[in-house]
Structure formats: structure tokens, C-alpha cells
Structure 1
């Protein structure tokens, strides 16, 4: 009986390890998919900065870039599968308390991320299936803002959403500058040069990503103040707005390069993040 009990515990332990390995695998696939999207969006933004602004610098533009390549449809389905993996991994993080998600706030954020990546996965799969996806980020942002402004207290709700985006962007940038992401990385497995490169890409990429979020929030807030949904901007228009500042295209170059680096950091996370 003791031998059978020991064997049962062994099977239970092996089953648990198998589940953890499977979950880690889908999570790493998700980080790879996220990296592909950010590298392509950053690349498209760089093209805008250097005068070739024909393509959208957003997720839809990234999908168009992939679709135009050989075996593009197959690559899109692989990307959708990776995004599904990220949604599943974030969902489990929200549902099952772990080292990174013991607090209610962390679990709530992971639940929101799971919903977001599920939506992105659906849009990518729809595009791969030939339906064209959900449209570009700019029209979607304007449509969403217009619908909210029609609601009772819609102006206040839109203003709150804009302020929330500004705060989220600031938090992302500050945490990146503090290099808090290194706490989640297996830095002991990295050589000194690799660790420096990962830290630099995480800082630059996180600050650029935070800047885009905050800038988009400013435009949503302006839409509330002006009661004009046309003032809201998606990622493409937000990035183009950096090109129209006093700094000229160079500010957009810096932000776009940061987004490419964030994609590279996502690839590093796929390899060295604790999952």
C-alpha cells in the first residue's frame, strides 16, 4: 500500500510538472508573438519618420506586412496561436495565485491582459482567415470614443479613460526606468553582455511603450474636453503625432526605435523570463 501511495504521488508530481511545462511553453510562444508585433510596428514607425508613411504603424499594419510575405497566411496563424498562448498564460496567472500574482491587483491586471490578448488573437485569426480583421487603430479609437461620448456622463467617462491611459503609460515608463522587469528574469543564466543588452532593451522599450500609451491618453482626454471624437487617436496617429512636434521626425525615430527594442526584449523574455 505504501508503495502504491508513493507511486500515486509520483504520478501526481509528474502530471503537475507536465502542466507547468506546457503552460510555460504557451507563455513563451506568447512573448515571441508580442515581440514580432512590436518589432514590425516600430519598423513601420521608422519608415514614417524617414518619409515613407504609406503603411499604418499599428497592429493592422504589422499583420499586412506579414501577409505580404511568402507563406504569410501560415505565419499569421502561427502568430494567432502565439497570442492565444499569451491569453491562456495570463488567464492562468489571474486565476491561480502564484509568485507573481499573489495580490488581488496583480491578478486583476493579468485578467485584463488575458482579455486584451484574446481580443488581439481573435483579430489576428480573423485577418488570417481573410475577413480583414477589426480595422485600423485610428478608426477604432474614434468609433469607441464617439460611442462613449453618446452615453450619459459620456464626457466624464471618456475623460477618465484618457487619464487612466496617461497614468498607465507613466507607470510603464517609470517601472521600466527602474528596471523592475529584471526581477522576473533569470539573469543568472545570462552572460554580462547579454544581461546589459536585455536591461537596455527593457528600459528603452518600456519607456517608449509608456510614452505611446500616455500620448494616446492625452488625445482621448482632449476628445472629452472638446467633445470631439475626432480628437482621439489610435497607435498609428499617435506615433505620427510625434513626427509633428518641435523635435521633428527625430522624436518619432527615438520612440520607434524604442518599440523595436521592446520587441527584442519580448524575445528575450521568451527565453529568460520565469514562467
Structure 2
């Protein structure tokens, strides 16, 4: 490792970065909690904002001292981005672990950008619109249908992975040893949360495959469109309410993760 790399790794492992990353995990929990609340409102006919990251950010912005909270979230997600970038580049893990860390870098950087956009322009595009715009651009490429279809299958596979991750409680390997009662609570929160995330990702992947097959980017959708689709099933709004509850429980897991996560 070069001297510059060693210094970067040392900075990423510093106590200050550890504390900031834990602030970021709390912010992550706030984001998922708000998405869960918005989804519950949609399930019972009182949803005005999109149940996605943009809707959650808009909700925070409307609160008293919302701008202050958003700046704290920018710092938190920036810390998460740097932490996961360090894991992807320097982490002594398997290739799969590095790939997962790289994926988180993209997600956290995206959230950080959305937060800054809201702070600087007071508006942010919905996840659904961004997904449809990107899908349309990909479909216009040579072999675009194949590419979008492959991405859709990859998202479905991610959903299946999260379902297995939750059922097998593989998230425990990311957590430090904890008291038995705390471990039991985290097991339940992680199981419910990853099951909900897996269902959402799986259905979002199906939408992408449909967009590829029909050559229609409007068939694709972000978190909001996917959550609303649960309400259109024979189970009605109650299935959406169950998935929303899973997101709320995952928010609780994120708060516990801020205390017990290995960094």
C-alpha cells in the first residue's frame, strides 16, 4: 500500500470517522423510518408525498429547523460514503464484500447528492422519475432491451439475496458482540427489515424486466411506484401496510446498528 493509501486508510479508521459513520447510520434509519411512515399513509389513503428517499427528504425539509437536520444528514451520509469507499478499496475482505461496499458507496453518494440538491435548490426529483428517465436512456442504447432486462434480473437477484440475508440473519456478522436481549431485538428487527427490502427490490426488478420486454420506460419505477403496487394486489392496502411496517422496523435496526455495528 502506498503512503497516500496508508494515510487514507488511517483517516477512515480514525475515531472521528467512526463517530461520523455512526451518525450516518442514524440518518439512514431516519430516512427508512420516514419512507415507512409515508407508505403507511398511502396504504390508508392519506399519502401526499412519494414514499421514497426524495419524499422522505422533502418531509425533513418541511420540519422546523429542517435545513439544519438536512445538513447533519449530508455529513452523516458523506461519512458513510467515505467509510464504504475505504472498505471497497482497502478492506481485507472477499471480492463479494468489496462489491457490496462499492454498491453502498453509490447509494450513499446518491442520497448525499439528493440532500444537497434539496438544500441548494429546495426541490428534488422523485425516484420514480429518475428511474424512468435512466431506463429510457438505457433502452435507446444498442442492445438496450437486453441491458435493461439484465439489470432487472440483477435487481430481482438482489431482492432474493436480501430475503436470504434476513432469514439466515447474516447481518449479525456486521455487528459487534452484544447482550443477549439486545441481540434478540436486533435479530427480529433485521429479519423484518431485510424481508421488506427484499420484497421491494424483487418487485422493482420485475418492473425493469417488464420495461425491457415492452420497450416502455414508464413500466419501470422507484421505491414509491413499487410500494404502491403492493396496494394493488388482491391483499389490498394491508400488504403495503405490512411492507411499510417492515421498513419501520428496519429503521429501528439502523438505530441499533449505529450502536453495535463493526466499523
**Interval containing the TM-score (normalised by the shorter chain):** over 0.9
Number of equivalenced pairs: 255
Q: Among residues 119, 126, 131, which one is paired with 1:128 in the alignment?
A: 119
Aligned counterpart, 2:165: 175
Query: Contact 2:78/2:112 (CA < 8 Å) preserved in 1?
Result: yes
Q: Cα deviation per residue 1:26-59 (whole Å; 9 max; x = unaligned)?
A: 2212211111100000010001111112111001
Q: CA deviation at 1:131?
A: 4.4
Q: CA deviation at 1:116?
A: 2.3
Aligned counterpart, 1:221: 209
Q: CA deviation at 1:132?
A: 1.5
In structure 2, runs of 5+ residues without a counterpart are: 1-9
Aligned counterpart, 1:256: 244
Query: Contact 1:26/1:88 (CA < 8 Å) preserved in 2?
Result: no
Query: 1:35-50 counterparts in 2 under 5 A?
Result: 35-50=29-44
Aligned counterpart, 1:103: 94
- SS, match of residue 137 in structure 2: helix
Q: Among residues 63, 75, 78, which one is paired with 2:72 in the alignment?
A: 78
Q: Among residues 155, 159, 163, which one is paired with 2:145 in the alignment?
A: 155
Q: CA deviation at 1:169?
A: 0.8
Q: Among residues 37, 48, 56, which one is paired with 1:62 in the alignment?
A: 56
Aligned counterpart, 1:230: 218
Is 1:185–2:175 an aligned residue pair?
Answer: yes
Q: Among residues 24, 47, 51, which one is paired with 1:30 in the alignment?
A: 24
TM-score w.r.t. length of structure 1 = 0.89
Query: Contact 1:80/1:121 (CA < 8 Å) preserved in 2?
Result: yes
| Structure ID, larger Rg | 1
Aligned counterpart, 2:182: 194
Q: Cα deviation per residue 1:221-253 (whole Å; 9 max; x = unaligned)?
A: 001111111111111011000000011111101
- SS, match of residue 146 in structure 2: helix
**82-91 vs 194-203, which moves further:** 194-203
> How far apart are the structure 2 equivalents of 1:107 and 1:186?
20
Aligned counterpart, 2:107: 116
Q: Cα deviation per residue 1:48-102 (whole Å; 9 max; x = unaligned)?
A: 111112111001110111111110111111111111011011011111123xxx1
- SS, match of residue 54 in structure 2: helix
Query: Contact 1:26/1:89 (CA < 8 Å) preserved in 2?
Result: no
**53-62 vs 21-30, which moves further:** 21-30
Query: Contact 1:207/1:258 (CA < 8 Å) preserved in 2?
Result: yes
TM-score w.r.t. length of structure 2 = 0.93
In structure 1, runs of 5+ residues without a counterpart are: 1-15
